[in-house]
Structure 1
């Protein structure tokens, strides 16, 4: 039903009413628009719409930060932030994304900790030996993809829900340790490739943490690498398959002076920093070429 306002023209002059009708409709539309609730103008916090891109031309120019403590220092002058998905808040990731930062989610895929929110989801049959130096953590049987995939997929979804566009897969080299299972090179290779595929399926860019011995085989499956102490361990050359493919290598050393190790790491075209082992906000980056 259309209600005629008191000032409208009488029915005896229908032509004039028709002439004013469209103008009144425009006025009502503008009024409704102006009176719309203010919250509708806010930019919602949404996950990224696609996996994080890594332009080849930028491969040796990234400035990066790795922080697993909280609160996250969002003022650090870095392009890429590698963060803990549980401890990092959506407010922190939103602040970083507003600055155009790339966010990488640190996900342990071959181990679990007793205090992980999803620890009880791992069946007893896939829980292995204790992880050296990490009380409360145990290896997982990476051969049991059927049991691990649902839990790891939800870890990836948590990353995506908080605004991360990439995942760095940590503890993806359990075959090199006494894990409690007879894991071999091929078991790990299959598991890591499955993880890279799962990340892509969920709209995330996959990155490989360490597992240097398998880099030559896995570089085509991953978009970037994260490495710890290749200079001290004298194994940086093994990461060249990523560099040769135009993919970034994010490298960290915990000892030594940057003036010494940067000569090597920057020479390999890595993005290198010095960090404390607790991975707090402090960092000392190598100077870019």
Structure 2
């Protein structure tokens, strides 16, 4: 058999010393280029896709869904409404306002409107007119016709709210309920709301069927406040007078219904002391045909910051008179009334 020494010795052994030097240099150069390209790709990914850990090949599909908190608002601050601010609340229907409008009806500092029913463009138009927007949602009760109603579990619900068929008290201790409310806060931020008005925080004071206590509502408000402020949203306390001392420092305003009717307005002294507004609603039984006496009685808030405000606050209640359906009609303590246009 013919011998093939070149095969026995191998390809490298057959090369001359000069050629070996050449191939060694070429190989070194190739390795350096490969390393450089790989590093360049890594830097580009960090630049385009966020944190450096995205370069890690063990994360092939990017970060987990909860890797980033919701984006903060552009200025990164939380709006603090001023005491004595003027306002209007419309929850019965979405409000209507032309993108070319030059004023609002009425011409007030702030509008409290439904989170789900009103569009981001409506809120943007109000902002163009230098109005602030608080977005309403029910945090403590299940409502059957909301877009996310199907996300609640049967175990989240307690007894039906008296007078509100199909609406049930929620277990505010439930992690599922809290997750849903976080998504609502995120929706409020995306729509451009300046603050939120979470309703039905007082399940503890009602026959809720869940053994809720005031401590449960305080803990829930603590959760909502932390989440809202992280999203640069102001947050208010709706009614729930019993927990005012515990939550006044974590809220930016209060919304009250009927403290005149029930002689409870002086309970809001901590908000007055802190110069935080109390957006106050009364529902005179004969609205909107109110006499001067009706207006006077409803506006007799019986809160005197000098007498009750030990902290020296200068605010008073921002009172308005409404119909129970919270449509566009409103009347103020100076006797002036107007109607905000709404969808029919």
Map residues 159-174 of structure 1 onto 2, 5 A cutoff.
Answer: 159-174=188-203
Contact (CA 8 Å) 1:130, 1:179: kept in 2 or not? yes
In the other structure, the counterpart of 2:171 is 141
Q: What is the aligned counterpart of 1:220 among 242, 249, 257?
A: 249
In the other structure, the counterpart of 1:243 is 272
In the other structure, the counterpart of 1:30 is none
User: Greater Rg, structure 1 or structure 2?
Assistant: 2
Residues 126/224 of structure 1: CA separation in 2 closer, same or farther (3 Å cut) = same
Are residue 152 (structure 1) and residue 199 (structure 2) matched? no
Residues 117/51 of structure 1: CA separation in 2 closer, same or farther (3 Å cut) = farther
- Separation (CA, whole Å) in 1 of partners of 2:221 and 2:256: 16
In the other structure, the counterpart of 1:206 is 235
Residue by residue over 1:109-151, the C-alpha shift from the partner in whole angstroms, topping out at 9 and shown as x without a partner, is: 111111111111112211111111111111111122x222211
Are residue 271 (structure 1) and residue 318 (structure 2) matched? yes
What is the TM-score normalised by the length of structure 2?
A: 0.66
Contact (CA 8 Å) 1:81, 1:101: kept in 2 or not? yes
In the other structure, the counterpart of 2:55 is none
Are residue 59 (structure 1) and residue 83 (structure 2) matched? yes
- Separation (CA, whole Å) in 1 of partners of 2:242 and 2:74: 32
CA RMSD of aligned residues (A): 2.0
- Separation (CA, whole Å) in 2 of partners of 1:185 and 1:69: 29
- Separation (CA, whole Å) in 2 of partners of 1:165 and 1:157: 12
Are residue 116 (structure 1) and residue 116 (structure 2) matched? no
Gaps of 5+ in 2: 1-71, 98-103, 286-293, 306-315, 336-344
Q: What is the aligned counterpart of 1:190 among 210, 219, 230?
A: 219
- Separation (CA, whole Å) in 1 of partners of 2:74 and 2:133: 10
Match of 2:260, SS state, is helix
- Separation (CA, whole Å) in 2 of partners of 1:51 and 1:271: 24
In the other structure, the counterpart of 1:80 is 110
- Separation (CA, whole Å) in 1 of partners of 2:257 and 2:76: 28
**How many corresponding residue pairs?**
239
- Separation (CA, whole Å) in 2 of partners of 1:264 and 1:205: 25
- Separation (CA, whole Å) in 1 of partners of 2:172 and 2:256: 21
Contact (CA 8 Å) 1:122, 1:147: kept in 2 or not? yes
- Separation (CA, whole Å) in 2 of partners of 1:48 and 1:173: 33
Contact (CA 8 Å) 2:301, 2:317: kept in 1 or not? no
Are residue 92 (structure 1) and residue 129 (structure 2) matched? no
Give 1:262 shift: 1.9
Match of 2:89, SS state, is strand
Give 1:261 shift: 2.7
What is the TM-score normalised by the length of structure 1?
A: 0.78
In the other structure, the counterpart of 1:234 is 263
Q: What is the aligned counterpart of 1:105 among 135, 139, 148?
A: 135
Gaps of 5+ in 1: 1-45
